Structure 1
Amino acid sequence: MFARCYNKISHLNSIRPFSSTKILNETHSCKVLVVGGGTGGLALTAKLSRTLNKSNLILLEPSNDHYYQPLFTLVGGGIEKMKDTRKYEEDLVPKNCTWLKDKAVDFNLKKNTVNTALGDKIEYDYLIVATGIIPRYELIPGLVESLKNPESGVCSIYSPNYVENVFPVMQKLNSGNAIFTFPNSPVKCPGAPQKICYITEDYLRKEGKRTNVNVIYNTSLPVIFGVKRYADALWKICKERDINVNTRTNLVRVNGEKKEATFENLDKPEEKSILPFSMLHVVPPMSTTEAISSNKDLTNAAGFVEVDKSTMQHVRFPNIFAIGDCSSSPNSKTAAAAAAQTNVVFENLKAVMKNQKLPLTYDGYASCPLVTGYDKCILAEFDYELNPLETFPFRQDVERTSMFLLKKDVIPVIYWNLMMKGLWNGPALFRKIMHLGLHK
Structure 2
Amino acid sequence: MSISSHKVVIIGGGAGGIATAASLLKRQPQLDIAIVEPSETHAYQPGWTMVGGGVFDLASTMRPTASVIPKGATWIRQAAASFQPDDNQVTLADGSTIRYEVLIVAPGIRLAWEKIAGLKAALGQNGVTSNYRADLAPYTWELVQNLRSGKAIFTQPPMPIKCAGAPQKVMYLACDHWRRAGVLADIAVEFRNAGGVLFGVADYVPALMEYVGKYNIDLALGSNLVAVDGRAQVAVFQTAEGEVSRSFDMMHVVPPQVAPQFLAESPLAATSGFTDVDQHTLQHVRWPNIFGLGDGGSMPNAKTAAAVRKQAPVVAVNALRQLSGKGPTAGYDGYGSCPLTVERGKIVLAEFAYGGKLAPSFPTWLVDGTKPARLSWMLKADLLPWIYWNGMLKGREWLAGPGGLIAQ
* In structure 2, distance between residues paired with 1:31 and 1:208: 60
Question: Which of 120, 134, 138 is matched with 1:160 structurally?
Answer: 134
CA contact (8 A) 1:339 1:426 kept: no
TM-score by length of 2: 0.95
* In structure 1, distance between residues paired with 2:331 and 2:118: 44
Residue 162 of structure 2 corresponds to residue 188 of structure 1? yes
Residue 352 of structure 2 corresponds to residue 382 of structure 1? yes
CA RMSD of aligned residues (A): 1.6
Deviation at 1:232, TM superposition (A): 1.9
Deviation at 1:52, TM superposition (A): 4.9
CA contact (8 A) 2:26 2:395 kept: no
Of 109-118 and 67-76, deviating more is: 109-118
Residue 295 of structure 2 corresponds to residue 319 of structure 1? no
Which is greater in Rg? 1
CA contact (8 A) 2:38 2:78 kept: yes
- C-alpha distance after superposition, 1:359-402 (max 9, x if no partner): 11111000110011111101110000101111221121111111
Deviation at 1:420, TM superposition (A): 0.5
- Per the alignment, residue 368 of structure 1 pairs with 338
Deviation at 1:425, TM superposition (A): 5.4
* In structure 2, distance between residues paired with 1:26 and 1:50: 30
- Per the alignment, residue 84 of structure 1 pairs with 60
Q: How does 1:150-299 map to 2 (within 5 A)?
A: 152-265=126-239, 267-268=240-241, 271-295=242-266, 297-299=267-269
- Per the alignment, residue 438 of structure 1 pairs with none
* In structure 2, distance between residues paired with 1:428 and 1:110: 32
Q: SS at the partner of 1:69?
A: coil
**Amino acid of the residue matched to residue 45 of structure 2?**
Q
- Per the alignment, residue 310 of structure 1 pairs with 280
- Per the alignment, residue 14 of structure 1 pairs with none
* In structure 1, distance between residues paired with 2:15 and 2:193: 27
- Per the alignment, residue 92 of structure 2 pairs with 116
Structure 1 regions of 5+ residues with no counterpart?
1-24, 430-440
- Per the alignment, residue 71 of structure 2 pairs with 95
* In structure 1, distance between residues paired with 2:120 and 2:397: 37
Question: Which of 109, 113, 116 is matched with 1:133 structurally?
Answer: 109
Of 43-52 and 308-317, deviating more is: 43-52
Change (3 A) 1:50 1:387: closer
- C-alpha distance after superposition, 1:67-110 (max 9, x if no partner): 00001001001111001101111011012011111010111111
Identity of aligned residues (%): 38
CA contact (8 A) 2:35 2:74 kept: yes
* In structure 2, distance between residues paired with 1:427 and 1:405: 20
CA contact (8 A) 1:133 1:326 kept: yes
Q: How does 1:424-435 map to 2 (within 5 A)?
A: 424=397, 426-427=399-400
- Per the alignment, residue 406 of structure 2 pairs with none
Deviation at 1:426, TM superposition (A): 4.0
Greater RCO structure (CA 8 Å; 6+ sep): 2
- C-alpha distance after superposition, 1:187-246 (max 9, x if no partner): 111111000000010011111111110111111111001111101211122123211111
CA contact (8 A) 1:126 1:320 kept: yes
Q: SS at the partner of 1:49?
A: helix
- Per the alignment, residue 6 of structure 1 pairs with none
* In structure 2, distance between residues paired with 1:55 and 1:63: 24
**Amino acid of the residue matched to residue 109 of structure 1?**
P
CA contact (8 A) 1:175 1:213 kept: yes
Query: How many residue pairs end up in the alignment?
Result: 400
TM-score by length of 1: 0.88
Residue 319 of structure 2 corresponds to residue 349 of structure 1? yes
* In structure 2, distance between residues paired with 1:370 and 1:427: 21
